[in-house]
Amino acid sequence: MIPPTGRCDRLHNHTVTPPFDPSPPATHVSYQLLIRVDRPVRLRIGALGVQEFPAGHYLYTGSARRNLEARIRRHLRREKKLRWHIDYLLSSPHAEVVGVFTADLEECEWNRSVKGEVVVAGFGASDCRNRCGAHLLLLDEEEARRLSP
């Protein structure tokens, strides 16, 4: 998602084609993953329990104050310990990261700039103090096309 007007110089779009080499600027602390879910899936998401994810494009917003590149690389690996909500979704063979963005915007500020629908309340927002509802949003077709590589 493009940050609020006038802040586009603070956004960096990375390729996810292997080998992934994001090299985000040192000032970047937040990232967004554009995820394609090619068919409806039902998954157990840690403490959130069993959840349904309709097919479509989702945008997940996260942050890493240190080692942003390592966090993104971890999310792109198929084999990993399931730790965060996003790990459970990305473990599905029907979910694929198709775009990665980084910015120096605060995670919740960037997440709130996205036009999307909360499908699973609380997803990725366990530590959110800004009442985002979730940090995973289902995008409408127009928004998904705009963000897709």
- AA identity, residue 59: L
Number of domains in the chain: 1
Tell me how far apart the alpha carbons of residues 127 and 63 are, in angstroms, rounded to a whole number.
11
Please answer whether residues 4 and 113 qualify as being in contact, where contact means their C-beta atoms are separated by less than 8 angstroms. Answer: yes
- AA identity, residue 116: G
Residue 63 has what pLDDT?
93
Q: Kindly indicate the confidence band of residue 21, based on its pLDDT and cuts at 50, 70 and 90.
A: low
| Residue 1: inside a domain | no
| Residue 2: inside a domain | no
* Average of per-residue pLDDT across 6-11: 38
| Residue 77: inside a domain | yes
| Residue 107: inside a domain | yes
Domain of residue 127 covers 8-147
| Residue 3: inside a domain | no
User: Which tokens hold the place of 77?
Assistant: 């690996």
Q: How many other C-beta atoms are found inside a 10 Å radius of the C-beta of residue 122? A: 17
Residue 7 has what pLDDT?
33
Residue 56 pLDDT exceeds 80 = yes
